[in-house]
């Protein structure tokens, strides 16, 4: 399955690829054979909602080479639109599949983002699970615009072929888009939100019960009560989808 063969659904005007986890990996394998840095985005309902009022974010998503449906809200929205997504493809699960590919093919990864020390912890855990994985380098996400050039130089010097950016949306997407044509060896880059914290063990992933029921967001609120302000956007998102459909 190539990029051009993937069907795209629009939710509130924002494109989402109608892929399964296996289909997303097929596309990814093609991107890793490219000669320039491809962009992979992992929108959930909050990111889609934000993209409707952030033109820059919308344009980045629209131009992405792979847009995986990371969010149960997107699955619900697709059903409302009578064009159901095949499944939810979470960014953290997709990243796990990517790590397996990188290990098997001798390709390297660079981990960028989260608080100081988190990327290093995540790298150690990744190598523990994938002993043959090459981690070319790590860097925290606590740098300002003036420091971006040095970070890009570090990524290039590392020779990494895959870039994992965990700086939250829309910062991570905007960082990749701004510098994707300056990366000398990176073949694909993906924004992963809080995935490095989960890998590092500083944030626990929801147990299987919550995941199967589409309630990961609820478990996350238990760990970080301040996220409730973001969670309340989900009903607003679904209402907007219903209204958008009726127009």
Contact criterion met (CB below 8 Å) for 57 and 51: yes
pLDDT confidence tier of residue 235, bands split at 50, 70 and 90: confident
Q: Is the pLDDT of residue 247 over 60?
A: no
Mean predicted confidence (pLDDT) in 217-236: 68
Say yes or no: 178 and 242 in one domain.
no
Say yes or no: 27 and 115 in one domain.
yes
Q: What are phi and psi of 86, to 5 degrees?
A: -70, -35
Report pLDDT digits (tens) over 161-208: 999 999 999 999 999 999 999 999 999 999 999 999 999 999 877 667
d(CA 25, CA 183) in angstroms, rounded, equals 22
Say yes or no: 145 and 240 in one domain.
no
How many CA atoms, within 13 angstroms, populate the side-chain half-sphere of residue 48? 31
Say yes or no: 138 and 233 in one domain.
no
pLDDT value, residue 221: 60
pTM of structure: 0.91
Say yes or no: 161 and 217 in one domain.
no
pLDDT confidence tier of residue 4, bands split at 50, 70 and 90: low
Domain range for residue 45?
3-200
Kindly give the pairing relationship between strand 38-41 and strand 108-113: unpaired
Q: Is the pLDDT of residue 231 over 60?
A: yes
Say yes or no: 54 and 110 in one domain.
yes
d(CA 51, CA 165) in angstroms, rounded, equals 19
- Paired tokens of 91: 């960014």
Q: Is the pLDDT of residue 47 over 90?
A: yes
Q: Is the pLDDT of residue 23 over 70?
A: yes
Say yes or no: 81 and 193 in one domain.
yes
Show Cβ contacts of residue 195 under 8 Å, excluding neighbours closer than 6 positions.
91, 92, 95, 164, 166
Say yes or no: 124 and 238 in one domain.
no
- Paired tokens of 32: 């890793």
| DSSP per-residue letters across the chain | --GGG--EEEETTEEEE---HHHHHHHHHHHTTSSS-EEEE---HHHHHHHTT-HHHHHHHHH-SEE----HHHHHHHHHTT---S----HHHHHHHHHHHHHHHT-EEEEEESSTTHHHHHHHHHHHHSTT-EEEEEE-S---GGGHHHHHHHHHHHT-SEEEEES-TTHHHHHHHHHTTT-SS-SEEEE-TTHHHHHHTSSPPPPHHHHHTT-HHHHHHHH-GGGHHHHTHHHHHHHHHHHHHH-
pLDDT value, residue 89: 96
How many CA atoms, within 13 angstroms, populate the side-chain half-sphere of residue 234? 17
Say yes or no: 59 and 102 in one domain.
yes
Query: Could you tell me the CATH number of the domain that includes residue 71?
Result: 3.40.50
pLDDT confidence tier of residue 244, bands split at 50, 70 and 90: confident
More confident residue, 117 or 228: 117
Report pLDDT digits (tens) over 67-87: 999 988 999 999 999 999 999
């Amino acid at each position: 399955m190539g990029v051009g063969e993937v069907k795209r659904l629009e939710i509130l005007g924002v494109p989402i690829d109608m892929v399964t986890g296996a289909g997303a990996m097929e596309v990814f394998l093609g991107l890793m054979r490219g000669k320039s840095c491809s962009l992979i985005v992992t929108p959930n309902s909050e990111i889609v909602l934000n993209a409707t009022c952030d033109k820059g974010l919308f344009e980045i998503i629209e131009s992405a080479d792979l847009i995986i449906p990371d969010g149960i809200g997107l699955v619900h929205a697709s059903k409302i639109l009578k064009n159901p997504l095949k499944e939810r493809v979470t960014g953290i699960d997709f990243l796990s599949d990517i790590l397996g590919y990188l290990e098997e093919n001798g390709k390297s990864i660079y981990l960028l983002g989260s608080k100081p020390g988190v990327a290093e912890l995540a790298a150690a855990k990744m190598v523990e699970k994938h002993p043959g994985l090459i981690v070319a380098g790590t860097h925290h996400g606590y740098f300002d615009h003036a420091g971006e050039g040095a970070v890009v130089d570090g990524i290039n010097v590392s020779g990494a072929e895959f870039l994992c950016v965990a700086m939250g949306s829309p910062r991570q997407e905007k960082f990749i888009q701004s510098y994707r044509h300056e990366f000398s060896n990176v073949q694909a880059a993906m924004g992963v939100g809080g995935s490095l914290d989960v890998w590092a063990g500083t944030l626990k992933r929801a147990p299987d019960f919550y995941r199967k029921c589409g309630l990961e967001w609820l478990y996350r609120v238990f760990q970080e009560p301040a996220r409730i302000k973001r969670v309340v956007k989900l009903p607003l998102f679904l209402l907007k989808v219903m209204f958008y459909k009726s127009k």
